[in-house]
Amino acid sequence: MTRLTVPALTSVLLSLGAAASAQGTDCGEVSITEMNWTSAAVVTNVATFIMEQGYGCEVSVVPSDTVPAVTSLSENGEPDIVTEMWLNGAGEAYDRLKAEGRIRELAPVLDPGGIEGWWIPAYLAEAHPELTTIEGVLANPDLVGGRFHNCPEGWGCRVLNDNLLPAFGVADAGIEVFDHGSGETLATSMASAYESEEPWFGYYWAPTAPMGRYDMVSVDLGAYDDAAFQAAKNQDSQDVGRSSFPASTVLTVVTADFAESHPTIVEFLSNMTFQTDTMNEVVAWMDENAASGEEGAVYFLTTHRDVWSDWLDDGARERLAQILD
């Protein structure tokens, strides 16, 4: 991929920041969340830059997380924009806001969404194509190293895996289920195996830096069964059936009042969709370069202009072209 150094990105950011004062504030004040994970920082900083430089907004960024954001929407009717709202973690309060018509869901901000699953390295799949299905893995435990790399205790995916692994008979097939103590050791196990071209079989999700850095292949777990998957989320469930992992819906959400008062911005946000693979690439670059969310946003803006230019109206596109050319 095209690579820019962090100092070069910082220089770009400084020049863009100097230009911001000339844009005016035609759209007024806008508040937007920045969730506390890397991909959300990219989304927020990209949206902020485009709203400021392309539409003349005065944007305030509110650090948040899923539950605090929903609580703030419920109690205060703000912030105006919530980025990367993962519906699988939004909860009942979010459902009430939607039912009451107080929020409006826009387009998915990640396409096809948040991806979970059980994975093997691409080089392993190329050498042994049979391992791309769970039946092939179970029939050849030695080829995947005889181990499944599981999530740490306390993670939602740990509950899912602890229910789905017995459903597929993973341990019965002679594959040890190794419970990692932290997300860092889970990621490190993948990195170590990949860099040595050794077997690896385990759970991971996207968008994340490891999934952008390493070419991984999702093991086909068969059909999605909603009843089985919902049961697998409950740690007290018994005799859970088999199911694959569905893509998690991840949306941009705005308040109903903001949607009515800022139709031009809502149109832009409705067009703002990142391919999950592209976001993997961006967050991997950030990890490799110890880059901030702002720098990750500039990396995306300078390397994927063909993507974001289609999100904008003609006026915003022309104003941004004057800055970035």
Model pLDDT, residue 218 = 98
DSSP lists the bridge partners of residue 242 as: none
Distance of CA 131 to the CA centre of its chain: 26
Q: Long-range CB contacts (< 8 A, 24+ apart) of 151-158?
A: 151/179, 151/180, 151/186, 151/203, 152/179, 152/180, 152/181, 152/182, 152/183, 152/186, 153/179, 153/181, 155/183, 156/89, 156/233, 157/116, 157/203, 157/205
What region, left, alpha or beta, does residue 150 occupy, with left being phi > 0 and alpha being psi -120 to 50 degrees?
beta
Q: With a cut of 90, say whether residue 13 has pLDDT above it.
A: no
State the average pLDDT over residues 148-167. 95
- Of 289 and 324, which is predicted with more confidence? 289
Q: How confident is the model at residue 142 (pLDDT cuts 50, 70, 90)?
A: very high
**pLDDT tens digits, one per residue of 66-78:** 999 999 999 999 9
Reported confidence tier of residue 90, pLDDT bands at 50, 70, 90? confident
At residue 321, the pLDDT reads 85
Structure tokens at 174: 């002679």
pLDDT in tens, 268-310: 999 999 999 999 999 999 999 999 999 999 999 999 999 999 9
**Letter for the amino acid at 125?**
A
Average pLDDT over residues 152-164: 94
- Tokens standing for 39? 């991909």
* Least confident residue range of 31-40, 86-95, 188-197: 86-95
What mean pLDDT is predicted for residues 53-77? 94
Whether residue 141 is preceded by a cis peptide bond, meaning omega within 30 degrees of 0, is no
- Those residues whose C-beta lies under 8 Å from the C-beta of residue 299, and which sit 6 or more positions away, are 4, 9, 282, 285, 286, 291
**Closest by CA position to 43, among listed 111, 103, 115:** 111
Q: What token pair was written down for 243?
A: 């199911």
Q: Out of 20-24, 105-109, 239-243, which region has the weakest mean confidence (pLDDT)?
A: 20-24
| pLDDT value at residue 5 | 53
Mean pLDDT of the chain: 92
Question: Looking at residue 18, what is its pLDDT?
Answer: 47
Q: At CB < 8 A and 24+ separation, what contacts does 90-99 make?
A: 90/66, 91/66, 91/67, 94/70, 97/70, 97/73
Whether the pLDDT of residue 145 is over 70: the answer is: yes
The confidence score (pLDDT) of residue 4 equals 46
- Amino acid code (one letter) for 139: A
pLDDT at 22: 40
Q: Report the phi/psi class of residue 32: left, alpha or beta, with left for phi > 0 and alpha for psi in -120 to 50.
A: beta
Query: Average pLDDT of 217-242?
Result: 96
pLDDT value at residue 323: 82
Rounded Cα distance, 171 and 313, in Å: 54
Strands (E), the chain: 28-35, 57-64, 81-86, 103-108, 110-111, 115-121, 147-150, 176-179, 202-206, 216-218, 250-255, 274-275
Q: Count of alpha carbons within 13 Å of 320, Cβ hemisphere only? A: 25
**Rounded to 5°, angle at Cα 210 from 214 and 70:** 140
Residue 2: pLDDT above 80? no
Residue-by-residue DSSP string for 181-214: SSHHHHHHHHHHHHHTT----EEEEES-HHHHHS
- Report the pLDDT value the prediction gives residue 11, as an integer from 0 to 100: 60
